Chains A and B, each alone.
Chain A
Amino acid sequence: MPFCRHRCDYCAFATWTDRDHVAARYLEACRVHAARLAPGLAPVTSVFVGGGTPSRVDPTPLLAVLAELPVAEGAEVTVECNPEDLDAGRAAAFAAGGVTRVSIGVQSFVAHVLDALGRRHPVEAVGPAVAAARGAGLDVNLDLIYGGTGESRADWATTLDGALALEPDHVSAYGLTVEPGTPLADDPSRHPDDDDQADKYLDASDRLEAAGYGWYEISNWARPGHRCRHNLLYWSMGDYVALGCAAHGHRDGVRYWHVRTPERYADEVEAGREPVAGSERLEPGARRLEAVQLSLRTEAGVPVAALPPADRAALVGLVEVRGDRLVLTRGGRLLANEVATRLVDPGEAA
């Protein structure tokens, strides 16, 4: 849903602050597109409505898009929400429309850190938002960001404590990332420090795991039974279809992505065309390599054959053997790229 009140200056997503007038037409285009795709789809096991800010638009037409899809019994349906948008009414509407889970963009529980990130919601908005979601029976994920300007280790601890106090089902903790083309990229004085982020990552890992949240991907922790199924699909080379502008899909071995603006997306759909901007199909070897690179990031790790013995020796302490798999250690998670660049195609057998 590519519409925001305000653009956070670290954000590189396809989203706009001046196109709210397009929202109705855009949502209708999404609905028409979903209806067109539905006959070719197997029952859908998960849906993820991301942003932009999906919690800003009228829930009725948003849920109408969902209604077009052949959603399977017991599917996971997540909507990203800003804390200030999520009240009891919206939460109830979501639940009634088939939504099972909300992912709330909390980022920090420290006011000056939120400020530095360019987030405009008050810290106090988070508790009521979580309560609203709980009241409607929704699963709750909290998104956190560490490494903003002026954030101390103690600030980060405050944020972790604040999140745990609300007893979410799932926590995602992301290091602030400098994306090219953003205002943040243009201001090196605010770029995060790798060592500081490394410390904070380990803090997150310590606190979340001690509180019963199991690590299952670089930046994701969940209570038992609450891992995000949709994300697991991404990391296990599963199939998913794209809906909406700038969305990505993966089907039958092809990765494809949609046109970037909501207007062009609506134009294409209204004209009866597929709004695809580009696609790629990898050779089988490259595909297997991509599969292990993705899997490396998760608790599942990679087959032992994916890492040559010489590299295994060079990476002592970063990976450990678990059965016939190699899995990142805690320190190894932080250096996952160093490990990933050494992975090789494990071959057909794996």
Chain B
Amino acid sequence: MDLDRLRNISIIAHIDHGKTTLSDRVLELSGIVSARDMRAQYLDSMDLERERGITIKLQSVRIPWRDHVINLIDTPGHVDFGYEVSRSLAACEGVVLLVDAAQGIEAQTLANCYLALENDLEIVACMNKIDLPAADPDRCAEEIEAVLGIPAEEVLRISAKSGEGVGDLLDAVIDRIPPPTGDADAPLRALIFDSHFDQYRGVVSSVRVMDGTMRAGAKLRFMQAGATHGAEEIGVRSPDPQPVDALGPGETGYLIAGIKDVGAAKSGETVTDTAAPADEPLAGYRDPKPMVFCGLYPIDGDEFPDLREALEKLRLNDSSFTYEPESSGALGFGFRCGFLGLLHMEIVRERLEREFDLSLIATAPSVEYRVHTTKGTVVEIDNPSEMPPMSEVDSIEEPWLTVSILTPTDYTGTLMELCQNRRGEMVKLEYLSPERVELRYRVPLAEVVTDFFDQMKSRTQGYASLDYEADGYGVSALVKVDVLLNSQPVDAFSMIVHREKAEDYGRRMCEKLKELIPRQLFDVPIQAAVGGRIIARQTVKAKRKDVLSKCYGGDITRKRKLLERQKEGKKKMKSIGRVEVPQEAFVSALRLDD
């Protein structure tokens, strides 16, 4: 294939700014998917993606346009998946920046544009939804010029919904974005930028050939993994997969190499041909590290083996989460799982429940702390129950983030307050335009994982957007709060919090549990404690009456069934310090949103 006729692009856009609609329209306009076969959000093949309207796993598709071929490489639209964005950008020469003309540019979109600029990618900017009454394309174009230096008059105006301007956009992609370069005779170097598991084909990887040629049937060396696999099938998607004999330099397609586990074909991997191997892999490979952790437990303890199997299967498709078995006195047997971020955690949990039909309890999310002990050792913990006794703790370090929030100026005050409540330290405040401002704060990760995003959204009617990056570790005055039921600590409710927030957490947990724990035959004290010191207390008073007043001829069958149900319910309760606690109490107490 003539390189000059090839373009590799990604679309950078905020959630809801219309990326998927644009992709659908492009497929339709180029004629490769007929309007009849078109279903909304063609490229989002996972149910969850279609429901949430976001793309999680990358897809790439080959689109013919004006005697050229455009490879459209999809990118995920959420901050948790920033690493996946960087991988897709590495496979492109240019990007289309898609901005909702009513909303303006959002924090994460901006961050991804900076990433594209750092990679010397050409940016074709366009505004979407220009047909909406609320659209303000002139203001939006000025803002793009102000923050990215793209002249306002070069910003295209489209409606992905109606198709208006989409042809011009494709023309601009061909005219403005450079074709790929690459040496067809050099040793093969191809970048894997996504892998997913197909239950019939095994691992299917998306690849971009940088140098040389990848041929079907070749023996391929996976340079970072250090393994060799045969290229069973290579092909392109347009959008259904079509096998090809070879992929030349600059080309994008898929590779099936008989691999059973996505962990063996990770994003960022360099593939070469064993017949004429390259000396050096491509740059930029890294393993994304989990940042957020929680315990996942089956509500029904008998489902533990099912949960293990589900996690194994899910990991075939998503090597970025981790899991290992753990046990809890309160919740039984489960797994400690690590995720890239909060959304990632939610998605994995939801997929486990939905695709594998499991009912799960998730513990409160935690981050990874570095505990310096008085003996001079350092312990890394991602679970409060691993915390050494406070008397042996010298200091605790926690991970910090730098967060960037783009917001209409009206909300500056409320967002500053939010950041300060979350122990944030301001780095800068900068006006992008008279109406929009960028706030930059350093905030502990632990403060961001407990509903920071939701708080930000609700304080700004959804107008603010967030991006973040890891920013090292720092010592904080942290303590572990234990919650005791009838004097017995309940590990599932322990939490590491800042000293100043300990009492608040303890009080809220005690109040919540008082509502959730049914009255027992005796008074049940609920206490929160730091070290040995009680910081909050509630009591569930002993139950005095449960009898049904009436039991005559017509009530007997009903009463028997009621007693049977109560007996069943009792069996499902967990006994902690002689207190019978229904599983529902754990689920509700651990819920984040209240």
Do A and B interact? yes
Contacts of B423 in A (CB 8 A): none
Given contacts A234-B551, A246-B554, A335-B521, contact A194 B545 (CB under 8 A): yes
Question: Contact: A177 with B549, CB < 8 Å?
Answer: yes
* Shortest Cβ gap from A281 to chain B (Å): 11
Contacts of A242 in B (CB 8 A): 553
A250 to B560, CA, bound (A): 15
Question: Contact: A337 with B547, CB < 8 Å?
Answer: yes
A280 to B557, CA, bound (A): 9
Specify the chain A residue showing the minimal Cβ separation from B546: A337
Contacts of B548 in A (CB 8 A): 177, 336-337
Contact of B546 among A257, A290, A294, A338 (CB under 8 A): A338
Number of B residues contacting the other chain (C-beta, 8 Å)?
Answer: 22
Contact of B560 among A218, A234, A290, A314 (CB under 8 A): A290
CB interface residues, B 549-594, toward A, < 8 Å: 549-554, 556-557, 559-560, 563, 566-567, 570
* Shortest Cβ gap from B29 to chain A (Å): 56
Contacts of B560 in A (CB 8 A): 290, 293
Question: Contact: B544 with A293, CB < 8 Å?
Answer: no
Question: Contact: A294 with B544, CB < 8 Å?
Answer: no
Question: Contact: A195 with B544, CB < 8 Å?
Answer: yes
Contacts of B557 in A (CB 8 A): 248, 255, 257, 280
Question: Contact: B552 with A231, CB < 8 Å?
Answer: yes
Question: Contact: A175 with B566, CB < 8 Å?
Answer: no
Contact of B545 among A195, A249, A280 (CB under 8 A): A195
Contacts of A219 in B (CB 8 A): 549-550
Contact with B along A19-32 (1 / 0, CB 8 A): 00000000000000
A195 to B542, CA, bound (A): 10
Contacts of A174 in B (CB 8 A): 549-550
Question: Contact: B550 with A341, CB < 8 Å?
Answer: no
Question: Contact: B547 with A334, CB < 8 Å?
Answer: yes
CB interface residues, B 520-548, toward A, < 8 Å: 521, 541, 543-548
Judged by a CB distance under 8 angstroms, whether A340 is at the interface is yes
Contact of A336 among B521, B546, B556, B570 (CB under 8 A): B546
Contacts of A175 in B (CB 8 A): 545, 549
* Shortest Cβ gap from A218 to chain B (Å): 6
Specify the chain A residue showing the minimal Cβ separation from B551: A297
* Shortest Cβ gap from B567 to chain A (Å): 5
Question: Contact: B521 with A240, CB < 8 Å?
Answer: no
* Shortest Cβ gap from B551 to chain A (Å): 6
A257 to B546, CA, bound (A): 27
A329 to B219, CA, bound (A): 83
A217 to B594, CA, bound (A): 45
Contact of A234 among B544, B546, B553 (CB under 8 A): B553
CB interface residues, A 187-243, toward B, < 8 Å: 194-195, 197-198, 201, 218-219, 231, 234-235, 240, 242
Contacts of B547 in A (CB 8 A): 218, 333-337
Judged by a CB distance under 8 angstroms, whether A131 is at the interface is no
Which of A293, A294, A337 gathers most chain B CB within 10 Å? A337
Question: Contact: A334 with B554, CB < 8 Å?
Answer: no
* Shortest Cβ gap from A336 to chain B (Å): 4
Question: Contact: B550 with A240, CB < 8 Å?
Answer: no
Which of B547, B556, B557, B570 gathers most chain A CB within 10 Å? B547
Judged by a CB distance under 8 angstroms, whether A247 is at the interface is yes
Contacts of A235 in B (CB 8 A): 551
Number of A residues contacting the other chain (C-beta, 8 Å)?
Answer: 38
Contacts of A248 in B (CB 8 A): 553-554, 556-557
Question: Contact: A234 with B563, CB < 8 Å?
Answer: no
A247 to B554, CA, bound (A): 7
A63 to B560, CA, bound (A): 34
Question: Contact: A177 with B550, CB < 8 Å?
Answer: yes
Question: Contact: B545 with A201, CB < 8 Å?
Answer: yes
Contacts of A297 in B (CB 8 A): 551
Contact of A341 among B552, B556, B566 (CB under 8 A): B566
Contact with B along A267-299 (1 / 0, CB 8 A): 000000000000010000000001001100100
CB interface residues, A 321-347, toward B, < 8 Å: 333-338, 340-341
Contacts of A246 in B (CB 8 A): 554
* Shortest Cβ gap from B248 to chain A (Å): 71
Contacts of B556 in A (CB 8 A): 234, 248, 250, 255, 290, 294
Specify the chain A residue showing the minimal Cβ separation from B550: A174
Specify the chain B residue showing the minimal Cβ separation from A336: B547
Specify the chain A residue showing the minimal Cβ separation from B561: A280
Contacts of A234 in B (CB 8 A): 551-553, 556
* Shortest Cβ gap from A295 to chain B (Å): 11
* Shortest Cβ gap from A178 to chain B (Å): 11
Given contacts A194-B545, A195-B544, A335-B545, contact A240 B553 (CB under 8 A): yes
Contacts of A195 in B (CB 8 A): 541, 544-545
A248 to B559, CA, bound (A): 14
A335 to B546, CA, bound (A): 5
Given contacts A218-B549, A234-B552, A294-B551, contact A194 B567 (CB under 8 A): no
Contacts of B546 in A (CB 8 A): 194, 334-338
A341 to B562, CA, bound (A): 10
Contacts of B563 in A (CB 8 A): 293, 337, 340-341
Specify the chain B residue showing the minimal Cβ separation from A194: B545
* Shortest Cβ gap from A102 to chain B (Å): 17
A256 to B550, CA, bound (A): 19
A218 to B570, CA, bound (A): 23
* Shortest Cβ gap from B572 to chain A (Å): 13
* Shortest Cβ gap from A5 to chain B (Å): 22
Specify the chain B residue showing the minimal Cβ separation from A286: B560
Question: Contact: B551 with A334, CB < 8 Å?
Answer: no
Contact of A194 among B521, B543, B554, B559 (CB under 8 A): B543
Question: Contact: A198 with B544, CB < 8 Å?
Answer: yes
Specify the chain A residue showing the minimal Cβ separation from B559: A293
Contacts of A247 in B (CB 8 A): 553-554
Specify the chain B residue showing the minimal Cβ separation from A249: B553
Contacts of A341 in B (CB 8 A): 563, 566-567, 570
* Shortest Cβ gap from A197 to chain B (Å): 6
CB interface residues, B 381-399, toward A, < 8 Å: none
Contacts of A257 in B (CB 8 A): 554, 557
Return 16 A-B CB contacts under 8 Å, by A number.
A174-B550, A175-B545, A177-B548, A195-B544, A234-B551, A235-B551, A248-B554, A294-B556, A297-B551, A333-B547, A334-B544, A334-B545, A335-B547, A336-B546, A336-B548, A338-B521
Q: Shortest 6 CB-CB distances between A and B: which pairs?
A: A198-B544, A336-B547, A174-B549, A337-B546, A248-B554, A198-B545
- A-B contact sample (15 more), CB < 8 A, given A194-B544, A234-B551: A174-B549, A174-B550, A175-B545, A195-B541, A195-B545, A234-B556, A246-B554, A247-B553, A293-B560, A334-B544, A334-B546, A335-B544, A337-B547, A337-B566, A341-B567
